[in-house]
């Protein structure tokens, strides 16, 4: 298993794993699988290209097996938070 930062080139695998998570654990998200499934691939790519967010993926046998993200706060009084 290895960990690497995801970028727009990982968007298809990221989308698939996230949609599975939305479906299996709806209580953990503020959006539904139905809402996210209709988002274009460019939307998923932009989530992996953000300057304020970082998403790392765990890969096993060449496949994306897990995801963890860190979102940085852009507001002036909250920039010390992530």
The span from the CA of 17 to the CA of 75, in Å, is 30
The span from the CA of 47 to the CA of 40, in Å, is 12
Contact 6, 56 (CB under 8 A): yes
Number of domains in the chain: 1
Note the pTM of the prediction, 2 decimals: 0.87
Q: Give me the CATH number covering residue 47.
A: 3.40.630.30
In what side-by-side order are the strands of the sheet with 53-60?
2-5, 53-60, 63-71
pLDDT in tens, 23-62: 999 999 999 999 999 999 999 999 999 888 999 999 999 9
What is the span of the domain harbouring residue 16? 2-78
Whether the per-residue pLDDT at 7 is higher than 90: the answer is yes
């Amino acid at each position: 298993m290895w960990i690497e930062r995801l970028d727009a080139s990982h968007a298809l695998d990221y989308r698939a794993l996230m949609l599975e998570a939305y479906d299996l654990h709806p209580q953990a998200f503020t959006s539904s699988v139905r809402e996210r499934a209709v988002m274009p691939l460019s939307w998923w790519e932009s989530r992996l290209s953000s300057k304020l967010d970082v998403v790392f993926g765990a890969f096993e046998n060449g496949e994306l097996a897990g995801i963890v993200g860190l979102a940085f706060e852009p507001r002036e009084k909250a920039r010390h938070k992530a």
